[in-house]
Amino acid sequence: VFPGVRQAQWLTKTKLVEGLPPAVQGIVDNPALGLQELEERAKHVVSHARLWDTAEVAPRREKYCPVLFENLIHICRLMSGKYPSLSKRMLARNFRIAATWERESILLQVRGLSGILMNSMTPIPPVASKEEILATKEHVLETFYPIAPTIDLQEVNVYKELNDTGQCFRDGYPYSHPHTLFFLESASVRTDRFRPEQLRAKMLMFAFGNALAKAKVLHGNDPKVLEQPIVVQSVGTDGQLFQFMVFQLNTTDLVSNDGVKNLVWIDSDQNLYERAQCVPEVKKGVVMKPAGISGFQPDTFKKFLALYLHGTV
C-alpha cells in the first residue's frame, strides 16, 4: 500500500519541489527543438488508441492505455534522426528491483515489479547544483507523530538484505543506467487502479529504489553523500491523466534526518486530453457531442517527450 507522497518522502529522505526542474522545462519551452511539429502526430496517436484500435464501441482502459504508451514511445524514437544518441536506449519490461536501506532504526526494502524501465548508455546529468544540494541540509522532513511513518507498510522477516538491480545493471551490460520508469495504471475497474496520489508515491519509491540500487553497484554499501548524484525519472498514466517525476539521489546516508536530503520534482495530474467520445451523443436527432477526441493538451505530450529527451538534448 502506498498511502501518499508525504510518507514516501520521509521513507526516502527526500525534499519535494513542485513542477518540473528547469533542465526539463527548458526542453518543453524550447521552440528550436521542434516538439510542436509532433503535436498532430500525438493527437493522431490518442485517436488511434481510444477510437480506432478496437472492435468495441468503447475500448477498455487495459487495452487503450498500453497502446497509447507504445505509440507515444514510437513518436519519441522519431527524434533519434535528429539526436542519434537516443538510439542508445533499451526498454526493459517486467523488470524486478530490490533495494534495502536503513531509516532511523528501521530496515526498509522496496522490491517488486518496477514498471517498464528505459535504460541508457549514459546517465542523466544531475539537475540540482551543488549549492541546491547543500541547501537541502536546512530542509526539515515532515514527521507523522504520533503515527509511525511506516504505517501501512508490509512487515516481513528479512533473512538477506537484497540489493538487486535485476539483469539491467550487470557488468558489461551496455545500457547500464536507469533513465525513466513508466507505470501504466491500466486496470479497467477503478478500484483495481492506484489513485493518482498513490501512484505518485509508488513512482517515487521505485525511482528511489532504482537509483539506490545503482548507487550501491557504483559505490558499495557505505552510506555517503554522492559526488555524482543519480537521476531517475518516472512517468505514470492511466491512459489519459499523466504524472511526471524527476528524482535525484544525493545521498545514501539515510539513517538520520540530518544532513543532505534527496530531491524530487513532481508535476501532477496532467491530462493529455479531456474526453474521448467513441460514438456521437445524439438527442432528438441532434448531435450533442460528436465522436472524437476533445481537449487535447499539447503541453502534456511535450512533457512526456521532454523527459525522454532529457540527458541527450
Our CA dihedral for 15, 199, 86, 230, rounded to 10 degrees, sits at 30
pLDDT value of position 86: 94
163 CB contacts (<8 Å, ≥6 apart)? 98, 99, 100, 212, 213, 216, 221
User: Which tens digit of pLDDT belongs to each residue from 19-76?
Assistant: 999 999 999 999 999 898 999 999 999 999 998 766 666 778 999 999 999 999 999 9
Q: Please provide the average confidence, as pLDDT, over all residues in the chain.
A: 88
Nearest to 61 by CA among 233, 241, 185, 204: 185
The torsion angles phi and psi of 10, rounded to 5 degrees, stand at -65, -45
- pLDDT at position 105 is 84
User: What domain range includes position 48?
Assistant: 3-309
What are the pLDDT digits (tens) for 201-243? Answer: 999 999 999 999 999 999 999 999 999 999 999 999 999 999 9
Q: What is the pLDDT of residues 84-140, one digit of tens each?
A: 999 999 999 887 888 899 998 888 888 877 689 999 999 999 999 999 999 999 999
Top-confidence residue, 194 or 230: 230
Decide if pLDDT at 165 tops 70.
no
For residue 267, give the amino acid letter.
Answer: D
pLDDT band at 159 (very low <50, low <70, confident <90, very high): very low
Q: Report the domain count for the chain.
A: 1
Torsion angle of alpha carbons 102, 107, 113, 118, nearest 10°?
10
Model pLDDT, residue 4: 87
pLDDT band, very low/low/confident/very high, at 1 (cuts 50, 70, 90): very low
CB 226 within 8 A of CB 251: yes
- Check if the beta carbon of residue 251 is closer than 8 Å to that of residue 282: no
pLDDT tens for 240-269 read 999 999 999 999 999 999 999 999 999 999
Q: Given this model, what pLDDT does residue 243 score?
A: 98
